[in-house]
Homo-oligomer: A and B are copies of this chain.
Amino acid sequence: MTTTPARTGSGTSSATIPAAGSPELADTIELLGLVAQLEHVAFARLAADSALAPTIEQRLELSRFASAAVERRDRVLARITEIGGDPVAAVRQYDDVLDDFDARTQPGSWWERLLKAYVGYGVADDFCRLAAEGLDEGSRAVVLEVLDDASHAELAVAELDAAGSADGVLTARLALWGRRLVGEALGVVQRLLVQRPALVRLVAIGSANQSTSPDAAPTNAPTKLFGELTAQHTRRMSRLGLTA
């Protein structure tokens, strides 16, 4: 949310709401739709986690996180309405965005479930954060604000850390699970980039806006993107004392 000179001076559409009917507006609504859908999926998963959590304290806490995800999703939907989009249509296009991911990564235990949320949401949030760099100021602010609310990650870290440090076998198993999760999560991002040129454009604009050398080829954006997603994942796993 800090405004760098490169960003405001770049001549892209990042400072104002894109004009009605413009391709930039359509791209913006597409990313906002993805973020809203991911928050909705987070709600559904956190609610299911709440039902399965081993203790009542966790059930209460996870239901609050689920409720917060609804609130975040609705902030994004409100932004879509504000810039003239149809929020339901924007969300609908991503209806099955994590279905494959979910089918391939069925957690076998409560810890695997927690790690899946932490790693899966982590990669998705990082991707949206990077793509949001290509948005107008107001939309970007909404996305970054929404993604900054990382309370669920904190719970996952606290619980996994407490469990893992006492159990070497669990740690080794979770490290392996983390590698499978990130592989599948990066696969989701890859498919999104193939299917959604809008997201590729936003990542490229964001990458150019952030670049220190203004004439860096935007075609490098995807490579840079996967580099950053992987680096963030490694950082995230090491917070848990797990090898990425």
The answer to whether A40 touches B57 (Cβ under 8 A) is: no
For A48, list chain B residues within 8 Å (CB): 47, 51
Binding site secondary structure of chain A: helix
Query: A182 to B50, alpha carbons, bound, how many Å?
Result: 28
Interface residues in A, total, Cβ within 8 A: 24
A161 contacts partner chain B, Cβ-Cβ < 8 Å: no
Chain A residues numbered 40-59 whose CB sits less than 8 Å from any CB in chain B: 40, 43-44, 47-48, 50-51, 56-57, 59
A176 contacts partner chain B, Cβ-Cβ < 8 Å: no
The answer to whether A70 touches B66 (Cβ under 8 A) is: yes
For A239, list chain B residues within 8 Å (CB): none
A210 contacts partner chain B, Cβ-Cβ < 8 Å: no
The answer to whether B66 touches A47 (Cβ under 8 A) is: yes
A52-84 near B? 1/0 per residue, CB < 8 Å: 000011011001101100110110010000000
A137 contacts partner chain B, Cβ-Cβ < 8 Å: no
CB-contact partner of A67 in B51, B67, B91, under 8 A:
B67
A-side residues, CB < 8 A to B, are 40, 43-44, 47-48, 50-51, 56-57, 59-60, 63-64, 66-67, 70-71, 73-74, 77, 88, 91-92, 95
